[in-house]
Structure 1
Amino acid sequence: MKHLLTAAALCAAVLTAPVLAADGAASAPGKPTAQQSKMGTCNKDAADKKGDERKAFMKECLSAKKSTQQDKMKTCNKDASGKKGDERKAFMKECLSGK
């Protein structure tokens, strides 16, 4: 029985080694993945938060999608309410350019 368990453990180790090696190669040093970059950015932004507030912020930050042009347009339109003519045109240009 003891030999059977040893053989099973040895087989499991041999079969999982290539999978583990492939994972290690994928996360080799160099350019960070998109998720790693996002995590770094969110971490910096959450530096002043602690506990539940930080946890909630990180969850929101990591799940946030990139803003689409349509989303940007809605936000800028909302922010431009009350502006007219050239003032509105200048505001919208600035807002949509992301500066």
Structure 2
Amino acid sequence: MFKKITATLAALFLCAGLAQAADSCDKQAEDKKLAGAAKTSFLKKCNADSAAASPAAAACDAAAAEKKLAGAAKASFTKKCVADGGPAAAGKPDAAAACDKQAAEKKLAGAAKTSFTKKCVADAKG
């Protein structure tokens, strides 16, 4: 129950921050006297930059760095992570670390490690 309340509050603050960023971007566009396609392009970039600056994005970037991801793999991971609400929203924050440790103890690698870790984290959630 506590996790649901925490997740709901985190989502509420994230949405409030994004709404505030959208208002800020609109104001910046007005200040620059942008109109038409230039305004649309500016708002799209501004809102994307604001979303990337969110706490969830920062946490997801850190998680990607821990996994030593780069390029398209990092971008894909970060996008999915932010959409899911950040790395902590995927389950218990320590569940993935504990599952990774168990996989290392069993000397699993590659697809076997991925499969084991995924099942382990899913079991930890439920």
Could you tell me the TM-score, scaled by structure 1's length?
0.29
The structure that has the greater radius of gyration is 1
**Structure having the larger proportion of residues in helix:** 2
